[in-house]
């Protein structure tokens, strides 16, 4: 994780945006940038629009009027309905949220509004703080992105996020309180989290936690992402680098192999 995060306060015109993600009518992103500093993050393309000289993972823009903009949108003539995903190009519960509480205020507004069902995708146990609010919102769900149960791998590729074991503990507490939880295994890390041993450990942990809704996705090979991933592999996991390069040469063939492996491991747990 970057030692010094540049935090800038800014204003936004809208809070609720139309979503192109299947199953979701809207998305919400209370921040620009993310201090979780995940090496594989596809949202690095946001750097083009952020106006920062810092690299992705070293800055966070806080949309300080986000709750106000949300309330204004929801009070308009048209009444948005359906599912809204929080955190499509940022993490709504990254460390800045503990201080600024933008996500919390937005959830309070959604609880009052009642026509939108929030679905949060995060790598942070901070979401537990807002459990009392989530319990008031019909259809509220929480998803945790979990790439691996290996602490070393997690520290290298997602240094600012809550450790995977902590995320699962939070998931257990949310489910105990009646909040549905799902897990997004993304991305599958070639040579690291895609082995039968690693997959077995992860699916066993998910089963023991009680999580049944699980989705998976593979690495988005954007040039910036590939550069960061190769650097991390060379420095920390050089023996696995050939697997990453194999994936990059032929992603489709790799996906076919790993999807079969995932299905085999999952059905055997």
Residues in contact with 220: Cβ distance below 8 Å, sequence separation at least 6, in sequence order? 40, 42, 187
pLDDT tens series, the chain, 269 aa: 555 899 999 999 999 999 999 999 999 999 999 999 999 998 776 656 656 678 788 899 999 999 999 999 999 888 999 999 999 999 999 999 999 999 999 999 999 999 999 999 999 999 999 999 999 999 999 999 999 999 999 999 999 999 999 999 999 999 999 999 999 999 999 999 999 999 999 999 999 999 999 999 999 999 999 999 999 999 999 999 999 999 999 999 999 999 999 999 999 98
Give the domain extent around 170.
6-268
Domain-embedded: residue 1: no
Instruction: Give residue 45's pLDDT.
Output: 65
**Tally of domains in the chain:** 1
In a domain, 105, yes or no: yes
For residues 217 and 255, give the distance between their C-alpha atoms in angstroms, rounded to a whole number.
9
Tokens of 234: 């060379």
For residue 235, what are the contacts with CB-CB under 8 A and spacing of at least 6? none
Tokens matching residue 211? 């999580």
Query: Distance between CA 120 and CA 117 in Å, rounded?
Result: 10
Has residue 148 been placed in a domain? Answer: yes
Instruction: Note whether residue 23 is domain-resident.
Output: yes
CATH number for the domain harbouring residue 198? 3.80.30.30
């Amino acid at each position: 994780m970057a030692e010094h995060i540049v935090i800038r306060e800014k204003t936004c015109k809208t809070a609720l945006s139309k979503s192109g993600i299947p199953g979701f009518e809207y998305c919400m992103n209370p921040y620009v940038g993310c201090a979780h500093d995940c090496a594989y993050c596809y949202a690095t393309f946001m750097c083009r629009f952020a106006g920062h000289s810092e690299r992705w993972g070293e800055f966070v823009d806080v949309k300080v009027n986000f709750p106000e903009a949300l309330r204004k949108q929801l009070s308009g003539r048209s009444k948005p309905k359906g599912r809204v995903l929080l955190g499509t190009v940022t993490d709504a519960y990254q460390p800045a949220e503990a201080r600024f509480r933008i996500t919390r205020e937005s959830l309070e507004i959604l609880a009052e509004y009642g026509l939108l069902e929030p679905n949060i995708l995060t790598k942070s146990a901070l979401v537990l703080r807002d459990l009392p609010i989530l319990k008031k919102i019909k259809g509220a769900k929480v998803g945790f992105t979990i790439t691996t149960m290996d602490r070393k791998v997690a520290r290298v590729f997602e240094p600012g996020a809550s450790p995977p074991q902590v995320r699962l503990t939070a998931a257990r507490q949310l489910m105990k309180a009646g909040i549905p939880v799902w897990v997004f295994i993304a991305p599958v890390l070639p040579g690291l989290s895609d082995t039968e041993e690693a997959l077995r450990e992860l699916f066993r942990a998910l089963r023991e936690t009680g999580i049944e809704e699980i989705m998976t996705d593979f690495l988005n090979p954007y040039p910036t992402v590939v550069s960061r991933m190769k650097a991390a592999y060379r420095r920390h996991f050089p023996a696995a680098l050939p697997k990453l390069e194999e994936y990059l040469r032929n992603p489709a063939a790799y996906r076919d192999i790993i999807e079969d492996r995932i299905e085999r491991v999952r059905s055997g747990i």
